[in-house]
Amino acid sequence: MATHGKTGWSVMGTGTIATEQMVAGIRAQGHTPLWVVSRRKLDAAHFAQDLDIPQWTTNLSNALGDPNVEFTYVSARIGRRGHYITAAAQAGKNVLCDGPISESSKTAAALVQICDTAGIVLAVHHPFRASAIHQTMRRLIVDGEIGKVQSTLITREGPYKPSAKRRKDDLEGDSDIYLDMSVDDIDLTRFLTGAEPLEVSALGANEGGAPNQISYAFKLDDGSIFQSFESFAIMDMESMVVVAGDRGTLIAHGTLNGKASGTLMRRHGAKNELVPVRDGDSHIATVEDFVSAGERQMSWLARGSDNVAALRAAEAVAAAATKRRTIAIRP
């Protein structure tokens, strides 16, 4: 994947993350967003005008047929992401897509196969992986700073009110806690520990249908336990990511709210030590790692296969909460 010159991008979909972060992240690499693709003409035209992108279209072939377009960024609604990924793969364009890439692991696995067959890169934008604090945690864990991992704990709340959207009809019904939170938290745990989920038990709290709070516990294949509490019902709770080993513990505060970068503490010998971490823009870091694929292995960015694994685990959480019993993860 070339990184020289004013490399062109096609932006597919007009999501909030693309508006606020990712187009700027593309330009920070010295690259150029050349096309905006949307199924609605006005959305594409307004997005292109607002972000100073020269061309817009509702026709995928216009953008994907442009020889100056090397990369595709997909920021569409989750139900449209597979359509854009498939078209980009058929055109031989490498894809960076907001996660999750699909609402189901089965569809996600099919998309991964399509991209593998086409020989293109399918990378998934999980901002938690791009956090400088989480990457520092991962390095400290790999370096053995806390010994053998015994337990991982994640607690977080969702927005008390829906996040800002460009259009009133951007929301596709009620939020799904398993897609909005569980996939991200499971992916983060896999990234931090390098371990895979084996089985899960869960308890969900419902208000008129879909769960708005969920608590679950995984057994991982390294022998450790991963526990998570996720809530749409709590208005103000600081997120926390704890990874405990047999020789110390790492504690990240405020890293999962999408706003501040948070803090990282290392606890050892009954003492807390602040770990200095240089702050950075997670969206710029994501684009930078993506465009370097081919020159080197992507160091931390999620692949499509990572998203399949997280979706399968999240589906097991949903099944465990519904059936009130332990559910094994499909291999």
Amino acid 280: pLDDT: 81
Q: Which residues contact 144 (CB under 8 A, 6 or more apart)?
A: none
Helix (H) or strand (E) holding 174: none
Cβ(154)–Cβ(182) below 8 Å = no
Amino acid 173: pLDDT: 53
Q: What is the DSSP letter of 293?
A: B
Helix (H) or strand (E) holding 6: none
pLDDT tens for the chain, 331 residues long, are 444 446 899 999 998 888 889 999 999 999 999 999 999 999 999 999 999 999 999 999 999 999 999 999 999 999 999 999 999 999 999 999 999 999 999 999 999 999 999 999 999 999 899 999 999 999 999 999 999 999 999 999 886 555 555 555 554 556 789 999 999 999 999 999 999 999 999 999 876 667 899 999 999 999 999 999 999 988 788 899 999 999 999 999 999 986 667 999 999 988 999 999 988 888 898 999 998 866 556 578 999 999 999 999 999 999 999 999 999 997 7
From the number of C-beta atoms within 10 Å of its C-beta (0-12, 13-18, 19+), residue 241 rates as: buried
Long-range CB pairs of 201-210 (<8 Å, 24+ gap) are 201/320, 201/325, 201/326, 201/327, 202/317, 202/318, 202/320, 202/321, 203/321, 203/324, 204/321, 204/322, 205/233, 207/233, 209/174, 210/174, 210/176, 210/177
Q: How far is CA 268 from the centre of its chain?
A: 31
Cβ(228)–Cβ(215) below 8 Å = yes
Q: What is the DSSP letter of 132?
A: H
Sheet holding 211-220, edge to edge: 271-274, 263-268, 248-253, 240-245, 149-157, 225-231, 211-220, 197-206, 327-328
Amino acid 261: pLDDT: 77
Residue-by-residue DSSP string for 28-48: HTT-EEEEEE-SSHHHHHHHH
